[in-house]
Structure 1
């Protein structure tokens, strides 16, 4: 029953986000005003996500489908997390896919860096982070919660393209033609030194996983196993 409630909470979280972000956004902004809409949107997102987290916490972890701390899932999850950080860090700078970003003049811009990999680096960073957690915690609640994050990220990226084309197709369509939607692994070298920063941040975050979550993660799993 708890898992069913988690599924309902996940569905409502996704539905409210997608509906308010796209089909109803324009009409609500016209009727409420941009600032009031942002307040309403933020409150609904906070309440729905809080309920999702509450339901997640109520579901017993259960028996995992495989050993997430085994060498193969651990290694793959670690690599995916580093890649996610490598995509996320540069996505914070001059990212035209962000809601408040200006697209004027984008039709003449040649993509560089992370945007040669994907035009939605932040969204795919979230999706890869969630996928890595499914690999190391393959439980029912993990599949529902992290699957929700993947659907939010990939579905949100697709809807961002639709919204940007509707608002400013003159600039967004040329940008789409120059940048891939799905991450192009052949362009990973474009990130250069960012990979070093991502790796260092991964080591720090996985170390913080021990005092905050109570479980070792990343390279610290090896350290924990050696000490144990």
Structure 2
């Protein structure tokens, strides 16, 4: 590994990380969240939080791109194919998840409509957004072998692995162990629906849009 450069050169990177974690942790604190939900409504809070999270992620990606380059492992052309495949899976998974009722995890709304016997994708994966984050992180970790990106994507992967246990603990406390246990006893069933098909198509279109916008927004083409 090359020597790490002056810490002053990493200032924006550190600030980007601080902004990212602050934007994700502060709005979810019970006292702050309750006020925001009261002001924006449940759906409004989810949309606003998603927008803020996306903005903070873009900022972090940009400061990681501009951080001093310290090589941890060398790039190879085949690594991009892994990233492209993983991203397709992650984006479709997000499309299948967003907006669905899921009282066992974060995101979604209309939790009163949740039925553990007809949980859809929640029946297979309790925290599908965390799984999408894990796939996204590992897919991008491989072709980005410089220190700034290894730290960033490594932290995302670690958070996605540990986040499920933290959310389960919080939800058990909020719902009560008995209710959480009842809701978590989901049935795994593969039942094709029109809604699911539309979501997959939307996910693939969004994936294409991300590939198209990756170079002008991030500054790097994801194509081999």
TM over 0.5: yes
Instruction: Say which of 209, 213, 221 aligns to 2:218.
Output: 213
Please tell me whether the aligned partners of residues 115 and 121 of structure 1 are also in contact (alpha carbons under 8 angstroms): yes
Aligned to 2:87: 81
State the TM-score, normalizing by the size of structure 2: 0.65
Cα displacement (A) at 1:16: 8.1
Instruction: Say which of 36, 59, 62 aligns to 2:67.
Output: 59
Aligned to 2:4: none
In 2, Cα distance between equivalents of 1:50 and 1:125: 17
Unaligned runs of 5+ in 2: 1-6, 40-44
- 89 and 15 in structure 1: CA distance in 2 versus 1, 3 angstrom threshold: same
Deviations 1:37-56 (A, max 9, x none): x8xxx7x9899879856753
Cα displacement (A) at 1:83: 1.0
- 55 and 157 in structure 1: CA distance in 2 versus 1, 3 angstrom threshold: same
Cα displacement (A) at 1:120: 1.2
Instruction: Say which of 165, 170, 185 aligns to 2:172.
Output: 165
User: Aligned Cα RMSD in Å?
Assistant: 4.2
Cα displacement (A) at 1:199: 3.4
Q: Does 1:156 align with 2:163?
A: yes
Please tell me whether the aligned partners of residues 117 and 187 of structure 2 are also in contact (alpha carbons under 8 angstroms): no
Aligned to 1:110: 117
In 2, Cα distance between equivalents of 1:103 and 1:33: 18
Instruction: Say which of 78, 87, 97 aligns to 1:91.
Output: 97
- 50 and 192 in structure 1: CA distance in 2 versus 1, 3 angstrom threshold: closer
Please tell me whether the aligned partners of residues 6 and 144 of structure 1 are also in contact (alpha carbons under 8 angstroms): no
Instruction: Say which of 194, 198, 216 aligns to 2:203.
Output: 198
How many residues are paired up? 203
State the TM-score, normalizing by the size of structure 1: 0.64
